[in-house]
Amino acid sequence: MSISDKTKKRIFDIIQIGKKDDVPSRLFDLAIVVAILLNSSVLVLDTFSEMAKFAPILNVIEAVTVVFFCVEYALRIWTAEYLYPNKSKSGAVIAFLLSFDGIVDLMTILPFFYLSGFVAFRLLRVIRIFHLFRINAAYDSFNVITSVLYEKRNQIFSSVFIIFILMLGSSITMYSVEHEAQPEVFQNAFSGIWWSLSTIFTVGYGDIYPITTLGRVLAIVTTILGVGVVAIPTGIISAGFVEQYNEAQKAVPDSISAAKAVMIEKDSVYCGKSVKQLKKEYGVNTLVIIREGMTMLPSAYLVLNAGDTVVLEKE
């Protein structure tokens, strides 16, 4: 490994999740958190007229933090080959640019240069708070959430589709019933959709409501159905968490004498594979993963990286 490659690898180690015994990496994590909090605070303070006299200071803080994010973004692109060791250099860069972190990084930088006049786009800067997940991405809680959402995606999509159908059907029905009685309120189908949405999700703003007897009967039916239908995704996700917990309990046997610890090298066949792929392709169960000094329980779609230490057991 050349000096340039060593430098690049060292920079990659620093900007990734910090090891407890790696002072520069921990300081970089702290700097990221401080920059996020400062930039988000400036976004909020800009909305107060009383802070106008501090505008020059706030603008400087915003500019400095955005420059910091730009440097971080450039370094992540430069070191992407270490984040995706099984891809070519160009493929690794593309993979990072299209990843969740890459898109969030870009969307929180661009508004400063091109879209600062659009408040809605400026609010996207708040999304950079997800950089915090980079610090605790190795913990089980976040992995469990993403695994549950991915594994239950079909059921969640089906329940959301049912909600959409109910909302659309009730909106058109309510428009047909109420339009003649109050044409200035239920002017078109969109007015019905607005009423339907606020009713199904029990928001109830009170700006649009039925006045006819039939309309009120339909509103009662829609409200009852809405409460039941909206609860479906919650039940699906809750059941997913229970399943994940039960699988995690089964993943650790009473005796692990047959298990062995393996260090994942860059050229290992396990590198870049998910826990689910390891079980399917190689017939091994992943019991524990140690990454950057932190111990994690495996989730099905957690991908093993170079440098990980995993405890494996043959089926």
Q: What is the mean pLDDT of residues 179-190?
A: 86
CATH top-level class of 153-249? mainly alpha
Q: What is the residue-averaged pLDDT of the chain?
A: 78
Phi, psi of 259 (to 5 degrees): -85, 160
C-alpha span between 153 and 157 (Å, rounded):
6
Residue 252 reports pLDDT greater than 70: no
Q: How far apart are CA 295 and CA 1, in angstroms?
A: 29
Residue 252's contacts (CB-CB under 8 Å, 6 or more residues apart) are 287, 288, 297
- Distance from the Cα of residue 315 to its chain's centroid: 33
Kindly tell me if the per-residue pLDDT of 123 is higher than 60: no
Question: Stretch 179-192: mean pLDDT, rounded?
Answer: 85
CATH topology for 3-137 is: Four Helix Bundle (Hemerythrin (Met), subunit A) (1.20.120)
Q: Cβ(126)–Cβ(104) under 8 Å?
A: no
Asked whether 293 and 20 are in contact (CB, 8 A), the reply is: yes
Residue range(s) in the chain whose domain bears CATH number 1.10.287.70: 153-249
* Burial category of 35 from C-beta neighbours within 10 Å (exposed 0-12, middle 13-18, buried 19 and up): buried
Quick one: pLDDT at residue 304? Answer: 84
| H or E element that contains 77 | helix 55-78
Per-residue tokens: 294: 């932190």
Question: What pLDDT sits at residue 236?
Answer: 85
Report the C-alpha gap between 240 and 126 in whole angstroms. 29
pLDDT computed for residue 125 by the predictor: 55
The residue behind tokens 């992540």 is: 76
Query: Who has greater pLDDT, 62 or 301?
Result: 62
Which range (60-69, 135-144, 297-306) has the least confidence? Answer: 135-144
Q: Which residue matches tokens 């995993």? A: 310
CATH node for 254-314: 3.30.70.1450
11-61 pLDDT tens trace: 888 887 655 667 888 888 888 888 888 887 887 788 788 888 898 998 899
243 pLDDT higher than 60: yes
pTM over 0.85: no
Q: Which amino acid is at 132?
A: L
Q: Where in the chain is the domain with CATH 3.30.70.1450?
A: 254-314
Burial degree of 66 (CB within 10 A; 0-12, 13-18, 19+): buried
Whether the predicted pLDDT of 249 surpasses 80:
no
pLDDT at residue 119 in the model: 46
Confidence of residue 135 (pLDDT cuts 50, 70, 90): very low
